[in-house]
Amino acid sequence: KAGVTQTPRYLIKTRGQQVTLSCSPISGHRSVSWYQQTPGQGLQFLFEYFSETQRNKGNFPGRFSGRQFSNSRSEMNVSTLELGDSALYLCASSEGVGTGMGETQYFGPGTRLLVL
Amino acid sequence: AQTVTQSQPEMSVQEAETVTLSCTYDTSENNYYLFWYKQPPSRQMILVIRQEAYKQQNATENRFSVNFQKAAKSFSLKISDSQLGDTAMYFCAFMKRGSQGNLIFGKGTKLSVKP
């Protein structure tokens, strides 16, 4: 099976703009999670979607939002970009059938966002 | 709230030798899962090993094994017969049962394997 794919891989935006990142999970996986990775804060959980519903959410401001489509593909959106939003955004998928049973998450290569 | 601490920001080991990476965590939960993930330079993160907290037996995957001490809230990773391809950032992660998709990561340990 193909792995988790993320597009675009690199993105440069300016402060105040908005951005949409896309994630295609492994075929058959229904759960998609998003993480932000920065040198200072490390890896932080943004949110998780299953069957088009957000099940879990991390401690990020409302500028960060996401959604999931019926084919399990997911997008995340960041509005009114700030310099501190510069990061590697990682998407991970899992089967999702064992809710909360510690299923292995498979990560994509990430989208590197630079905000100028 | 749960926290994960990796006290060794960087480590190095000679090829073919054994190295142990430390991880401690803090939680009031009794049912949870622990993971070690590897992130090679400029490559995507992959799972190294997974441990279910209710299982006393330590998980092993080929050259990788863990020492899980539930009472001490410790979850160290041992890499035997280190190989150059083991060079990577290693992240320890915690997931509370029932909280699918929400991994709490440590800051990571940068491991360099030297020839």
pLDDT in tens, A28-55: 999 999 999 999 999 999 999 998 999 8
Give the number of residues written for chain A: 116
Return the structure tokens found at A6. Answer: 């993320």
Residues A81-104: pLDDT tens digits?
Answer: 999 999 999 999 998 775 667 788
For residue A103, give the chain B residue with the closest CA: B100
Check: CB of residue A99 under 8 Å from CB of residue A56: no
Chain A residues touching B106 at Cβ < 8 A:
42
Query: b vs e for B47-70, b when ≥16 Cβ sit within 10 Å of the residue's Cβ?
Result: ebbbbbbeeeeebeeeebbbebee
Task: Give the pLDDT score at A59.
Answer: 93
Residue A60 has a CB neighbour count (10 Å cut-off) of: 16
Tell me which residues of chain B, numbers 36 to 55, contact chain A at a CB-CB cutoff of 8 Å.
37, 43-47, 50, 52
The pLDDT value given to residue A100: 62
Count of pairs with CB atoms under 8 A, one residue in A, one in B: 72
What's the CA gap between B49 and B64, in Å, rounded?
7
Task: Label residue B42 by pLDDT band (50, 70, 90).
Answer: confident
User: Among all residues of chain B, which has the CA nearest to that of A94?
Assistant: B101
Residue A33: the pLDDT is 95
A90 reaches B (C-beta below 8 A): yes
- The span from the CA of A31 to the CA of A79, in Å, is 24
